[in-house]
Structure 1
């Protein structure tokens, strides 16, 4: 069976006949049973449904702020490498052109999970750090050489579990999306439900690659 990444590999990557072919058989996604960190966010799914009619009142409460951190070299250790066991960082990939629109929608989607202390929310600018994303994909695929098209990565969401060294991935064209979506983040709410149920694929890596400043 082909690796699940193969169906979107060409969307992320530029065709280059000189690059080595990635052996998709090297990595098999491990589908694990729900863990304790997933169970801690189950009750917040109902809150997201209730929020649809009462968002303005909730947003006016200053104690319920949700901060989106920029994932860059200076904050990399705090947001990834030094995260405590059981904690996860949810990262959306943006570029300068889409940043305002995507971050606004991402903030709205993850707002119901703001009270969960095991979750941190962040964004990554592909113009600065697409090389880090390329290395993460490369490690999950077994180390085969690849070249990433930064523009096609916009709208990708990574759920990083730093301590256990795995990530889950959302993309509008990813096979885990139940149906195609016109807008990049339309399928994210349902994917987050599945993430916290423990039913999304997990891609394991041996280590978190360095992130250099740009």
Structure 2
């Protein structure tokens, strides 16, 4: 296999093997994808010909000829190509650019502005990806004479011994892409030629000769419009079939005994749970303007129970962090009790038992351990109340779920001092079975309390 470049008399590269594999052929073609002296047509070609300097690797240089595409420059351009053939080096690549097509690049190197200069040769080294180059201008310009060739050869030999001769640096602008509009222009010209040919055939030829072409055109139009009509009818029938499913989905959302959508839990992507505090600063983004389909699961805590409840909360909800819809926050009820009480006014049926008992006992409700699942877009919440209260019921069993009865049903017990570890254990157990509750929440089977509007920002602003 032989590869010819500028010279048609001498191959630029040869490969010979018995039963060459495709991988060998592809690599051979890839190594010879450029001419010996290619023309710079865009930035991608420039970066491949003159790559960025790599550490611990040999320096690579680019010899650039800035010239023109007029006929008067032909002799000098051919002389530059012949010089490259006779002085091929592994670390030096030769290329040229037309000053008319890449004026910003040429103005930077020639230190002129919008003026046509005689051909000039530069030796470049690409220093970084931002476009910084070290360069040296070869004195005397370039006319293709023997004197020009000897001067360039001397500079290349000096460069091998002392790279510091590239004593100037600059930031080169990105090259213009000469092929940016080429495809569109070619397509327009091809369409114009084709239409012109058809019109000439219609005007100058008889209709009998044009019948095959007209038949082909009308057949294509018939197939095109027929496909559109069939597609439109199929879309309308699919919409009609999907309406009953939509109604069933609406019934399931309102709590009717429709089929429940199974929740598919995705594995967590992180090894931690991101829990943010719900304050007046994050109130709008985390709740009021939460994206449709997303939900903020808020843990209610106090200053005393903050560390214990947050640790337990993170363990219970960690397996749900792989899904993108739930977000996790916590609310300090010591700071935002007004907002909490305003919100729970819409859940009176769920809070009735606790309210009755707390009024009889004349003490404030302990909201620590409550979970509020808030859907900011549809304006509803789901409520989780602690399943463990830290009190003992009849027979010494620990109380769980809802408390029943009044203070008169049981004789008053002597208060027993509790150690700090016992109180911590009781707080820790407030979030038992939260994982199961989250499963039902994600399936959409938890009862929803709809509210007309979220409490105002002033309700959650902490008092100063």
Structure 2 unaligned residues grouped into runs of 5+: 1-253, 350-354, 389-398, 402-425
1:149-160 alignment, distance < 5 Å: 152-160=366-374
The 1:173–1:107 alpha-carbon spacing in structure 2 relative to 1, beyond 3 Å, is: closer
Alignment of 1:168 with 2:388, yes or no, is no
Q: Is the 8 A contact 1:126 1:150 kept in 2?
A: no
What RMSD, in angstroms, separates the aligned Cα atoms of the two structures?
3.1
The 1:111–1:80 alpha-carbon spacing in structure 2 relative to 1, beyond 3 Å, is: same
Q: Is the 8 A contact 2:295 2:374 kept in 1?
A: yes
Q: Is the 8 A contact 2:387 2:431 kept in 1?
A: no
SS at match of 2:304: coil
State how many pairs are aligned.
Answer: 161
Relative contact order, higher structure (CA 8 A, sep 6+): 1
Runs of 4 or more off by more than 2 Å in structure 1? 30-36, 63-66, 139-142, 146-151, 179-182
The 1:99–1:106 alpha-carbon spacing in structure 2 relative to 1, beyond 3 Å, is: same
Q: What's 2:286 paired with?
A: 79
- State how far apart, in whole Å, the 2-side matches of 1:159 and 1:75 are: 16
In the superposition, the TM-score normalised over structure 1's length comes to 0.65
- State how far apart, in whole Å, the 1-side matches of 2:308 and 2:346 are: 30
The 1:97–1:199 alpha-carbon spacing in structure 2 relative to 1, beyond 3 Å, is: same
SS at match of 2:307: helix
SS at match of 2:313: helix
- State how far apart, in whole Å, the 2-side matches of 1:206 and 1:115 are: 31
The 1:150–1:68 alpha-carbon spacing in structure 2 relative to 1, beyond 3 Å, is: farther
In the superposition, the TM-score normalised over structure 2's length comes to 0.31
The 1:128–1:32 alpha-carbon spacing in structure 2 relative to 1, beyond 3 Å, is: farther
- State how far apart, in whole Å, the 2-side matches of 1:151 and 1:95 are: 12
Q: Is the 8 A contact 1:34 1:198 kept in 2?
A: no
Structure 1 unaligned residues grouped into runs of 5+: 1-29, 48-57
- State how far apart, in whole Å, the 2-side matches of 1:34 and 1:161 are: 21
SS at match of 1:128: coil
Q: What's 1:43 paired with?
A: 264
SS at match of 2:299: strand
Shift, 1:65, TM fit:
3.6
SS at match of 2:282: helix
1:45-194 alignment, distance < 5 Å: 63-141=270-348, 152-173=366-387, 180=400, 183-194=429-440
Shift, 1:186, TM fit:
0.5
The 1:90–1:161 alpha-carbon spacing in structure 2 relative to 1, beyond 3 Å, is: same
Shift, 1:199, TM fit:
1.4
Alignment of 1:195 with 2:441, yes or no, is yes
Q: Is the 8 A contact 1:64 1:114 kept in 2?
A: no
Q: What's 2:40 paired with?
A: none
Shift, 1:68, TM fit:
0.4
- State how far apart, in whole Å, the 2-side matches of 1:106 and 1:152 are: 17
The 1:186–1:34 alpha-carbon spacing in structure 2 relative to 1, beyond 3 Å, is: farther
Which of these two proteins has the greater Rg computed from alpha carbons? 2
Q: What's 1:213 paired with?
A: 462
SS at match of 2:400: coil
SS at match of 1:73: coil
Shift, 1:187, TM fit:
1.9
SS at match of 1:74: coil
- State how far apart, in whole Å, the 1-side matches of 2:309 and 2:258 are: 29
The 1:198–1:163 alpha-carbon spacing in structure 2 relative to 1, beyond 3 Å, is: same
Shift, 1:151, TM fit:
5.5
- State how far apart, in whole Å, the 2-side matches of 1:71 and 1:162 are: 13
Richer in helix (by share): 2
